[in-house]
Amino acid sequence: MKATGTVKKILANYEGETPGVKGKLCQMLMHGKLGGTGKMIILPVDQGFEHGPARSFSVNPDAYDPHYHYKLAIDAGLSAYAAPLGPLEAGADTFAGQIPTILKVNSANSLMSDTAGKNQAVTASVDDALRLGCAAIGFTIYPGSDMALDMFEEIVEMRKEAAAKGVATVIWSYPRGEAVTKEGETAVDVGAYAAHMAALLGAHVIKIKLSTDHVMQPEAQKAFEAGKIDISTQTARVAECVRSSFNGRRIIVFSGGASKGTDAVYDDARAIRDGGGNGSIIGRNSFQRSREDAMEMLGKLIEIYKGKA
């Protein structure tokens, strides 16, 4: 598909990157109902790994079936679908070539003791991504965890291999662990820092959580004040995270967190849009609703990102 000017401008930021990676980013940016707008909505379904199937799917039992998610993402006109190896394979024939896919190559689970550390297992490879025709690999890092340095070293190696083979890299950057307070996990200074670290590690697409106006690090508080950086609104905080992503030179999407009311989801999206973010990665808030409700909500989100709602 002929790329729009908006998309070409985004791609031009990926200087020196392989044409294969740029082509994959173009594929995601031109796909679905937001194709060409520079905005994206991604459906991620890795909660089954992290929270178990009951907590993830029992509220909407159709969602136990991996085909459900492929269909939801395709029918809603989303930009991409992200999942671990197993579920991607479970629809690999039926949906081959119909939506860009992101192979989540590391995975956490909630059957772990605290002493096991905040870490994830590498559960798929770049070769798997190639075999399955994925547009990107997805990798979670936990800035703040004592395991973070190991995770950084893992993703740096995988990204190098992926980029050489024309596969893009999405980094889920989720502050967590020994060096981060519970409130700090969504503090704006920490969130912007998390986005920045992902960019520094070479992410092509950055995924972080929306943040609160809490500031965890006192030095950051002082810096915000010195620089007169506004963090009072969600829009302003999104803007700070976008700035921290190389001043907007990297695509950044925001996760919606636990399921909540649609109005809150819409407000989040407007803040992401107005703050200069590139879109939403929205899992539980879509598949923990009935398909009918999810389709309606995703349709509305698309309107919001198009500036029509």
- Interaction with its own copies in 250-309: which residues (CB under 8 A)? 250
Q: Which two tokens stand for residue 253?
A: 């999407």
Closest CA to 181 of 190, 173, 194: 190
Question: From the DSSP assignment, how many helices (H) and strands (E) are in the chain?
Answer: 14, 10
Closest CA to 33 of 99, 103, 102: 99
| Contact set for its own copies, span 17-46 (CB under 8 A) | 17-27, 30-31
186 binds its own copies (CB under 8 A): no
| Contact set for its own copies, span 57-76 (CB under 8 A) | 57-61, 64-66, 74-75
Question: What residues contact 171, with CB distance under 8 A and at least 6 apart?
Answer: 138, 139, 140, 141, 155, 198, 201, 203, 205, 206, 207
**Helices 5-12 + 19-30 axis angle, to 10:** 140
Residue 150 or 183 having the CB closest to its own copies: 150
Residue 120 or 269 having the CB closest to its own copies: 120
Residue 19 DSSP SS3: helix
**Catalytic-residue membership of 165:** no
State the nearest-atom distance from the C-beta of 125 to its own copies, in Å.
6
Residue 127 or 267 having the CB closest to its own copies: 127
| Contact set for its own copies, span 137-176 (CB under 8 A) | 143-144, 146, 148-150, 152-153, 156-157, 160, 164-166, 175
16 binds its own copies (CB under 8 A): yes
Options 226, 261, 292, 308; binder of its own copies; rule CB under 8 A: 226
Taking only Cα atoms into account, the Rg of the chain, rounded to an integer number of angstroms, comes to: 18
190 binds its own copies (CB under 8 A): yes
State how far Cα 214 lies from the chain centre: 22
**Catalytic-residue membership of 300:** no
Measured distance CA(5)–CA(10) in Å, rounded: 9
Active site residues: 174, 207
